[in-house]
Amino acid sequence: MLEFLVLNVKEFENPSDELLRKWRIYYGLNNELIGEVELDKYWLNKSTQLPILSNLALDYIWLPISSYTIERSFSMYNSLLDSDRQNLSLDSLKRLSMLYFNGV
């Protein structure tokens, strides 16, 4: 794989030690994900080694993946943001969303 990158990606023509170090980490992630993994715990464990990727993963792993869940989300947000609740702070909206989506 590294040979392909050297031939096809300009940044890998003369890679820095830092780039090679990061590439080995990213490439090695594939070998760690065998079997079932609790994604939140996995990315929390990677947060010191890969802080940017970990934050990104933790933001996106819980997004809905089907149109049904997306439409359900919009419907719930409509009920959250009715005329009585339009002045909620962002923090309050996040907490209320968590309660709605966890069935509390």
Give a yes or no: residue 58 inside a domain: no
Q: Residue 82 domain-assigned?
A: yes
- Could you tell me if residue 94 is inside a domain? yes
Q: Which domain holds residue 21?
A: 1-32
Average pLDDT over residues 98-102: 75
- How many residues are present in the chain? 104
Model pLDDT for residues 26-62, shown as the tens digit of each residue: 887 777 767 787 888 988 998 998 898 899 989 888 7
Residue at 16 is within a domain? yes
pTM of the model: 0.46
- pLDDT surpassing 70 at residue 99: yes
**Number of structural domains found in the chain:** 2
Q: Does residue 19 lie within any of the structural domains?
A: yes
- Angle ∠(38,42,45) on CA atoms, nearest 5: 145
44 found inside a domain: no
Element (H, E) at 65: none
Nearest alpha carbon to residue 49 among 13, 12, 14, 22:
22
